[in-house]
């Protein structure tokens, strides 16, 4: 049962709570909350769905423009290594999200074993009690339990269910699913056909890491490390570098020759569909999803604000969508592998491919810190956009800083404002020459800042 403070929060925000969607998913497109506009070059605005690996990351996602976040509890969410959210944090997230008019989806997309079936009902009942906006599912057994123990919560189908055709979409609709995340193996024309043949809500991934296995259903980690990806414990062996060993020549390693760099047969690139956003929106896709519950604050701020601006621009551009240079720069600033357009928009294999010739990430910037409210200030998480104009900045340091370091403040509207740290001090007023990670510092700055604002710095070559 929910803890007492959860009930109190739910009562106080009842009028702001988004009502659960009905279980009958086969509604007409004209009855959608966001309907497709008429005329060429005009688009319905899809939901921007962002990852939330922790309560703080969810709040950062909202600050930088996400309409909704998907998070996982401490169990059943296929991200065992993420921080994830405990029960009270999930309740707090729903409370703050609903006050902002945003939504929270909770992933319960594990492939359940029999031993899980007794723990799932009270958990699902709890998620309904705290009024999550949807559950993300993949296992038919979990779906049956969700319909029984969380009957008022909307149900979304995970990419793990590998839905690749309109009849499958219709099938899941009859089971009570409202939204389907389509398999990443589909081409644009296949998605187009499915969109024409169903009124169900459709969701696609537009950015982030990809798994080379079919819809993420991989056995490599389970075989090599006894850590099953299908239980949320993947060690990402697909991104290791492999060499061939012949049985009678132990110790002699041979590259699997394909080019001068060798071949990384599992090493997938990262997805980036910023250039094709208008084409997806023209189809009437209901939600554009960003991968990354394991990613950090710098990734969230840059990627979310970029896609937020792109979606808004596309809706206002009247058929003249153009990718701005600063969007490309923002997406290059985050730690990532070389980008690909995946199978939705395949690139010529003679010039490129879906695998990377390197196991290294592109990392030009690092997270310098996160702006914090001063200890004496009165600030609540749901007021995440509340500005602080005192002339001083309080920041939790995440990377080593020294006098003369240049940091960059990231704003939701796309601005990135640099600042040289000529001096800074601890919260007791002691002047510092070096600031270490996890310490809090303060410094004067002629900038308008806000709590949870992300601050970056260019990585040194030595790093």
What residues contact residue 401 under an 8 Å CB cut-off, 6+ apart? 368, 369, 407, 421, 424, 434, 435, 441, 457
Residues 385, 273, single domain; the answer is no
| Residue 376 lies inside a defined structural domain of this protein | yes
* pLDDT above 90: residue 359: no
Say if residues 204 and 285 touch (Cβ distance below 8 Å).
yes
* pLDDT above 50: residue 350: no
Q: How do residues 224-261 score in pLDDT, each as one tens digit?
A: 566 665 555 666 666 666 666 777 777 776 655 444 44
Overall domain count for the chain: 2
| Residue 34 lies inside a defined structural domain of this protein | yes
Give the Cα separation of 153 and 105 in Å (integer).
10
Q: How do residues 182-207 score in pLDDT, each as one tens digit?
A: 988 889 999 999 999 999 999 999 99
Residues 32, 67, single domain; the answer is yes
Task: Give the model's pLDDT for residue 14.
Answer: 38
Residues 379, 452, single domain; the answer is yes
Residues 414, 323, single domain; the answer is no
Residues 449, 309, single domain; the answer is no
Residues 305, 451, single domain; the answer is no
Residues 97, 192, single domain; the answer is yes
| Residue 245 lies inside a defined structural domain of this protein | no
| Residue 194 lies inside a defined structural domain of this protein | yes
Is the whole model's pTM more than 0.85, yes or no? Answer: no
Task: Give the model's pLDDT for residue 184.
Answer: 85
Task: Give the model's pLDDT for residue 111.
Answer: 87
Mean pLDDT across the stretch 66-93? 84
Task: Give the model's pLDDT for residue 345.
Answer: 86
Q: What is the CATH number of the domain that holds 77?
A: 3.20.20.70
Task: Give the model's pLDDT for residue 255.
Answer: 54
| Residue 352 lies inside a defined structural domain of this protein | no
Q: Could you give the angle at which helices 87-99 and 4-12 cross, rounded to 10 degrees?
A: 10
Say if residues 163 and 157 touch (Cβ distance below 8 Å).
yes
Q: What is the CATH number of the domain that holds 387?
A: 2.40.30.10
Mean pLDDT across the stretch 415-441? 96
| Residue 216 lies inside a defined structural domain of this protein | no
Q: Which domain holds residue 125?
A: 4-210+268-340
Identify any residues that bridge with 432 across adjacent strands, giving them in sequence order: 424
* pLDDT above 70: residue 420: yes
Residues 449, 321, single domain; the answer is no
Residues 307, 445, single domain; the answer is no
Three-state SS for 170? helix
- Cα angle 82, 83, 88; round to 5: 135
Among 9-18, 83-92, 417-426, the least confident range: 9-18
Higher pLDDT, 210 or 130: 130
Higher pLDDT, 269 or 82: 269
Count CB neighbours of 281 within 10 A: 21
Say if residues 328 and 240 touch (Cβ distance below 8 Å).
no
| Residue 357 lies inside a defined structural domain of this protein | no
Residues 136, 50, single domain; the answer is yes
Residues 334, 439, single domain; the answer is no
How many percent of the chain have pLDDT more than 70? 72
Residues 382, 277, single domain; the answer is no
- Which of 290, 323, 340 is the last residue in one of the domains? 340
Higher pLDDT, 52 or 237: 52
């Amino acid at each position: 049962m929910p803890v007492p403070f959860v009930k109190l929060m739910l009562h106080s925000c009842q009028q702001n709570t988004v009502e659960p969607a009905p279980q009958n998913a086969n509604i007409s497109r004209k009855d959608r909350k966001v309907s497709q506009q008429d005329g060429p070059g005009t688009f319905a605005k899809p939901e921007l769905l962002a990852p939330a690996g922790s309560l703080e990351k969810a709040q950062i996602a909202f600050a930088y423009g996400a309409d909704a976040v998907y998070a996982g509890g401490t169990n059943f969410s296929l991200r065992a290594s993420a921080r994830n959210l405990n029960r009270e944090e999930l309740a707090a997230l729903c409370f703050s999200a609903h006050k902002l008019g945003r939504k929270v989806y909770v992933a319960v997309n594990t492939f359940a074993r029999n031993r899980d079936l007794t723990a799932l009902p009270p958990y699902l009942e709890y998620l309904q009690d705290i009024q999550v906006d949807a559950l993300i599912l993949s296992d038919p057994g979990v779906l049956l339990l969700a319909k029984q123990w969380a009957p008022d919560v909307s149900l979304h189908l995970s990419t793990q269910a590998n839905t690749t055709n309109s009849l499958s979409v219709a099938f899941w609709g009859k089971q009570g699913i409202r939204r389907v995340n389509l398999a990443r193996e589909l081409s644009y024309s296949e998605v187009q056909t499915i969109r024409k043949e169903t009124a169900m809500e459709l969701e696609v991934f537009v950015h982030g890491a990809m798994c080379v296995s079919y819809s993420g259903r991989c056995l490599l980690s389970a075989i090599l490390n006894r850590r099953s990806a299908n239980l949320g414990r993947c060690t990402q062996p697909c991104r290791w570098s492999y060499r061939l060993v012949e049985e009678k020549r132990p110790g002699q390693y041979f590259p699997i020759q394909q080019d001068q760099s060798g071949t990384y047969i599992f090493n997938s690139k990262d997805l980036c569909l910023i250039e094709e956003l208008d084409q997806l929106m023209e189809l009437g896709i209901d939600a554009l999803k960003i991968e990354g519950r394991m990613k950090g604050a710098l990734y969230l701020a840059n990627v979310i604000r970029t896609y937020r601006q792109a979606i808004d621009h596309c809706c206002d551009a009247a058929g003249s969508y153009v990718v701005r240079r600063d969007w490309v720069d923002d997406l290059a600033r985050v730690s990532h592998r070389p980008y690909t357009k995946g199978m939705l928009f395949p690139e010529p294999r003679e010039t490129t491919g879906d695998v990377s010739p390197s196991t290294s990430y592109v990392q030009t910037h690092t997270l310098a810190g996160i702006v914090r409210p001063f200890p004496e200030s009165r600030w609540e998480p749901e007021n995440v956009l509340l500005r602080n104009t005192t002339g001083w900045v309080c920041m939790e340091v995440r990377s080593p800083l020294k006098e003369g370091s240049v940091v960059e403040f990231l704003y939701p509207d796309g601005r990135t404002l640099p600042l040289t740290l000529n001096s800074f001090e601890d919260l007791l007023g002691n002047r510092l020459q070096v600031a270490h990670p996890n310490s809090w510092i303060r410094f004067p700055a002629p900038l308008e800042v806000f709590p949870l604002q992300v601050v970056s710095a260019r990585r040194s070559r030595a790093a």
